[in-house]
Amino acid sequence: MKVTRVFLIFVAFSLVSGFTDCYKPVTNSGLPSHIKSIAVPAFQFEARALRYRVSSRFTEAVSREIIRRGRGLKVQGTRENADAVVEGTVRDFSFTGVLLDREGRARVYEVTIVSAVTIRDLKENKVLYDNQNFIFRDSFEFSSDPRSFFNEEDPAVDRIARAFSESVVSTIVNGMGVKEEKK
């Protein structure tokens, strides 16, 4: 009986003190309400070392993530008739050995990709979000047994592209850094 009374007092105190405001879900997009379609053209590639399909993996990952979490946003590949655009550039791509085996060969590699992203409102001709220094890192391991060798570089790039796209789309959907001007 006493435990129930203490619990009820705690619940009442929590409701009165405003702690419930901490758990409000995000209910609207960070984009202005007039944006219904968003273009995701092919990302540019400025990196020194050319890697197969890195920029297209980033473009595809961002498009898929917007479709998955974009709350009804229409995604297209060109700017024509789009309300907004996500412009991306892969600025640098590198991988380095970070862990050696007993023979001195690198077994674990770290992939680092530096990219830039800008979200533009095409209807009002203004930048909604700009980050010229998105940095993503992931690691992959080579097998010590040559018979079971599998190149993990491609899956590592795919994981980084997914992490990148989740971050960009979270910025769009949750409104972190994207502000609509009040009229």
pLDDT in tens, 113-162: 788 899 999 999 999 888 899 887 877 776 666 555 556 667 777 887 88
- The 10s digit of each residue's pLDDT in 61-101 is 999 999 998 778 899 999 999 999 999 988 887 878 888 87
Candidate from 8-17, 27-36, 60-69 with smallest mean pLDDT: 8-17
Nearest to 106 by CA among 139, 148, 147, 154: 139
CATH number assigned to the domain comprising residue 46: 3.30.160.150
Q: Is residue 182 part of a domain?
A: no
**Is 44 inside any structural domain?**
yes
**Residue 4 belongs to a domain:** no
Mean pLDDT of 50-66: 83
- Does 78 fall in a domain? yes
Q: Contact, 66 vs 40, CB < 8 A?
A: yes
Domain assignment present for 12: no
Residue-level pLDDT at 47: 63
Residue 168, in any domain of the structure: yes
**Residue 33 DSSP class:** T
Average pLDDT, whole number, for the chain?
A: 76
Q: Which domain holds residue 77?
A: 37-174
81 within domain boundaries? yes
Q: Residue 135 has what pLDDT? A: 83
Cα–Cα distance measured from residue 41 to residue 28, given in angstroms and rounded to the nearest whole number: 25
Buried b vs exposed e over 10-48: b needs ≥16 C-beta within 10 Å?
eeeeeeeeeeeeeeeeeeebbbbeebeebbbeebebebe
In this prediction, residue 178 carries a pLDDT of: 46
The tally of domains found in the chain comes to 1
* 18 part of a folded domain: no
Q: pLDDT value at position 40?
A: 94
User: Which residue has better confidence, 7 or 55?
Assistant: 55
Q: CA 34, 170, 111, 116 torsion: positive or negative?
A: positive
Residue 76 has a pLDDT of 93
